[in-house]
Amino acid sequence: MQTATSWGMDGFDIDWEPLTSTDYAGMLALVNDLRAAWPAAILAADLGWGLPTGATDNQFYVQLSNTLDQINLMTYGMADAWPGWVSWHGSAIFGEGADHPSSVNRYVTAMLNAGVPPAKLSMGIGFYGSCWNAPVTAPLQSPNGSHVVADDNTMSFAAVMNTYYSASAYRYDATAEAPYLSFPSATGPQGCTFISYENETSVAAKGSYARQKGLGGTIIWQINEGYNPSAADPQALLHAVASAFDSSQPAAPTSTAVASSSPTSTFGQSVTFTATVTSGSGVPTGTVTFKDGAVALGSGTLSGGKATLSVSTLAVRSHSITAVYAGTANFSASTSTAVTQVVNQAGTTTSVTSSRNPAKRRQTVTFTARVSAVAPGTGTPTGTVRFFDGGVQIGSASLSNGSAALSTSGLAAGSHTITAAYDGSVSYKASTSAALAQEMLALLRLADQEELGLRRRTSSGTAEGRTQRGS
């Protein structure tokens, strides 16, 4: 205490790890003694994120908060290939599940439910990332041998941005409010295939969450790992924290608009929706969720005030598309007016082939129809194909992987005009193939064959006799 006061410090931050129920009495005694010895000191304690929440534990947290000025939850580094876990973000705000049970919201809510005042509670922000090795390439994947191979110190924010970051690898999980990098193969000196980390967007989301919950603030581990001297703003991440948690500045109003690359499209065609978010107080950052009515289609991260989402799965009908900007600590949320996206049936082409042409009467012939989508439509049509001999239907079959087949042995001798007619479906238009000329050869009766053979032999013998007499 003498050292702290001689250096002009404000108080103590107590990091008691691990803190178990057997330590509760000792921890309370320590903070009470410090408070008694230095009443004006700022006293804080750092608690791990995987805290028990039984009745005894909750009572301890409340007693601790009565004496402390701040309880800091170390909500970073919250994922690895632990038993029963899938890959997950190191500091997701939301989105936890049975096999990925960590999130900022889960542990903040647990402390609030225990009775800790929100103003005395802070969340943690890590200025470093977690590097997973192969085969994991994204969150929510079975580890299958993957695990975190590098994190604190090695995977600093500066190292992530300078050594690993690329626009093609960048992803943002709008549900978890967490960025990550995804690589198809081992990348960089640590051989990363999935990197979970913090950036300005996720920091802004954490600031917004803290405000909504009325939390006291945040702690950072470690500030020096966020310093990136090669960046235009070497302290961009720290500045993002300052902006996100500065409650003295009201969020600036914004306006959001959405546009379609092709307002009228066909089924399976890729359509790109572009959201533009503007503000009179600068260029907004953060995420935009694109919705079809009340259903979320996906999200995009703002870059230069714009975010895009490409989809090719819209059903055949009219769709009401909106863009919902989530807002940040500096920019308020806003929702666009709806635009109408009309999706029409995709055109198709149908062809028909024969397994045997010509064929003998009574032989089995298989006709195969193939139905394909016409660009810009895509996908594999489904439904029924009817086969015709001239104007007479000779059978039908269901499409499987774009093909339908009909086998028949009932075609009469002669020429047949075979066509295949696809009936269409909800998503695809009907179409009819070009005509196929199928030849069926006649089969002679045995008596006819014997008579024909006799005639040939008689004719041959007569000719031979004439040749002999003529000689």
Judgement on whether residues 335 and 353 belong to the same structural domain of the protein: no
Judgement on whether residues 234 and 204 belong to the same structural domain of the protein: yes
Q: What is the pLDDT of residue 450?
A: 52
Q: pLDDT band at 452, cuts 50/70/90?
A: very low
Task: Tell me which residue of 188, 206, 210 sits closest to 198, measured CA to CA.
Answer: 206
Neighbours of 62 (CB within 10 A): 14
Judgement on whether residues 155 and 110 belong to the same structural domain of the protein: yes
Is 201 a member of any domain? yes
Last residue of a domain, one of 344, 372, 403: 344
Structure tokens at 450: 């014997």
Cα–Cα distance for residue pair 442/453, rounded to 1 Å = 17
Percent of the chain at pLDDT > 90 equals: 81
Cα–Cα distance for residue pair 30/66, rounded to 1 Å = 13
Is 292 a member of any domain? yes
Is the pTM for the entire model greater than 0.85?
A: no
Domain containing 417 equals 348-441
Q: pLDDT band at 254, cuts 50/70/90?
A: very high
Task: For residue range 76-111, list pLDDT tens digits in order.
Answer: 999 999 999 999 999 999 999 999 999 999 999 999
Q: What is the pLDDT of residue 443?
A: 72
Q: What is the DSSP letter of 110?
A: H
Of 251-255, 262-266, 432-436, 440-444, least confident by mean pLDDT is: 440-444
Average pLDDT, the chain: 92
Judgement on whether residues 360 and 227 belong to the same structural domain of the protein: no
Cα–Cα distance for residue pair 227/156, rounded to 1 Å = 9
Judgement on whether residues 89 and 203 belong to the same structural domain of the protein: yes
Cα–Cα distance for residue pair 174/288, rounded to 1 Å = 9
Domain containing 295 — which CATH number? 2.60.40.10
End-to-end alpha carbon distance in the chain: 143
Last residue of a domain, one of 244, 277, 303: 244
Judgement on whether residues 115 and 69 belong to the same structural domain of the protein: yes
Q: Which of 210-214, 235-239, 357-361 has the highest mean pLDDT?
A: 357-361
Number of domains forming the structure of the chain: 3
Task: For residue range 310-326, list pLDDT tens digits in order.
Answer: 999 999 999 999 999 98
Last residue of a domain, one of 344, 378, 397: 344
Judgement on whether residues 432 and 311 belong to the same structural domain of the protein: no
Q: What is the mean pLDDT of residues 186-207?
A: 96
Residue 46: which residues within 8 A CB-CB, separation 6 or more? Answer: 13, 14, 15, 16, 17, 72, 74, 219
